[in-house]
Structure 1
């Protein structure tokens, strides 16, 4: 089976934090489940031992990516300069951590807080996003870390909800190391179909999250994964494909509430992850030549 894409799994399938023991568990389970890459959310970054994590990743032969969103009091899409400044510092700290553990990508809702906003994004707020992310991309250019703009649904951000929103934002940022990050869970809510966003992003697509419409077992919902994977094949996508699933069985303080993870969709992360890897690999192998 010739699969060119690094296949990844989100650490929240295994553990809810990034304390040393949890990181060790997540890395070991990711490796034993056959994945090439692990994605760490930096919501718990104060507990992450950067040097130890990098050493364990190297020993396991795993690639790594980092993701995060911001907070309402540290939101670069705000009109308040003090709030924007806090968000910028958070992003800079996250870039330092991502580079320190050897991450290929720092991605997610880098442009705003997680949450339902009470009003549309302002012109000033969008300008702040462009300014901060342009500077962050310049800082990242010497680290080997690529920045991803993850497209999230309307209930989690008012900045970027569709692939075309993200492409316009990336155009305005104007840096080559800023890529588009598609997530099938969010696409199901906001996009017209599972094909056009992939074709629109084309060679600017740099990271993919695979998640079911309810974020449980792949194939147990209603998403059209066949068309999505065929579209990835049509553009020749060879970047990371990371399985993302959340359940109340694994609680991440703060983040689980931000993402409204109230349902227990699975209890056995290992069975879930092994099933997901087989599912993804099968779809990649079945794509038309």
Structure 2
């Protein structure tokens, strides 16, 4: 059975000690195995406290982040690239210090709407930066996940095949594809082909509805996606991600265009999601077994 995770933004918009306590205890109370922390304001984090709380509640940890235009590893400007690399190294270090082994997200450029395509040099800088941080991460036993996102959040990786091609160029053993159903719904032709194409290189999964609210309230064909995961015998983490204006993170909410209130009760949302995902994975596994 896959480990099931939930993104911290279901519970709180920052990682102050008080919020961290809430995030970790609520994640456990809702029945999840893993919590994903977004490192978009790591300065306020109490790493020792976080590590202790994770152990106390017997939770695994995954970390994620995206970059900004002033720290963009796909920029043509060397100083901008260097700032991006420093943020990625910081994220990997925090992940390892928390006892985690997965750091994912938009590690290859800014999480933003670009006004032009990526340049040849920009792409080369992204590849070189990823090769460097993959090496850095390997020494700390951290796997890097390149999250494939929609055209309004990246001009580099919008499909699984683009991610696989970039990973071929980076050529490091600890870099995997991170697929997210919310983004796939915008960019991919279906929910099966990209999963099959990734195969063993699929390393992390985000489950998000088309409107980023309650699972089953939108248009995503989850049964096709869970069936595809079963077909490649995906053993990795499956993390629920949902955003509402109820919970605001200064750095993330505006970047993700969270303008609408899709839920008020994070616990109800999370418990529903856990049942929905576990049920979908189980149904697909049973169908596969009888096939």
TM-score (norm 1): 0.98
Are the counterparts in 1 of residues 226 and 281 from structure 2 also a CA contact under 8 Å?
yes
Of 64, 69, 72, which aligns to 1:72? 69
Matches within 5 A, 1:89-108: 89-108=86-105
Q: 1:114 Cα shift?
A: 1.3
Structure 1 residue ranges without an equivalent (≥5): none
Of 176, 180, 185, which aligns to 1:188? 185
Tell me the equivalent position of 1:45. Answer: 42
Tell me the equivalent position of 1:138. Answer: 135
Of 211, 214, 229, which aligns to 1:214? 211
Which range moves more in the overlay, 241-250 or 137-146?
Answer: 137-146
Q: 1:115 Cα shift?
A: 1.0
Could you tell me how far apart the structure 1 residues matched to 2:251 and 2:227 are? 36
- 1:215-239 CA-to-partner distances (Å, cap 9, x unmatched) read 0000011110001000000000010
Are the counterparts in 2 of residues 73 and 86 from structure 1 also a CA contact under 8 Å?
yes
Secondary structure class of the residue paired with 2:63: strand
Matches within 5 A, 1:15-94: 15-94=12-91
Structure 2 residue ranges without an equivalent (≥5): none
Are the counterparts in 2 of residues 114 and 157 from structure 1 also a CA contact under 8 Å?
yes
Could you tell me how far apart the structure 1 residues matched to 2:202 and 2:241 are? 18
TM-score (norm 2): 0.97
Q: State the Cα RMSD in Å.
A: 0.6
Q: 1:104 Cα shift?
A: 2.2
Of 264, 279, 287, which aligns to 2:261? 264
Secondary structure class of the residue paired with 1:147: strand
Could you tell me how far apart the structure 2 residues matched to 1:198 and 1:210 are? 13
Tell me the equivalent position of 2:275. Answer: 278
Of 229, 250, 261, which aligns to 2:226? 229
Q: 1:185 Cα shift?
A: 0.2
Q: 1:50 Cα shift?
A: 1.1
Could you tell me how far apart the structure 1 residues matched to 2:244 and 2:264 are? 8
Are the counterparts in 2 of residues 63 and 104 from structure 1 also a CA contact under 8 Å?
no
Secondary structure class of the residue paired with 1:159: coil
What is the number of residues matched between the two proteins? 286
Are the counterparts in 1 of residues 41 and 251 from structure 2 also a CA contact under 8 Å?
no
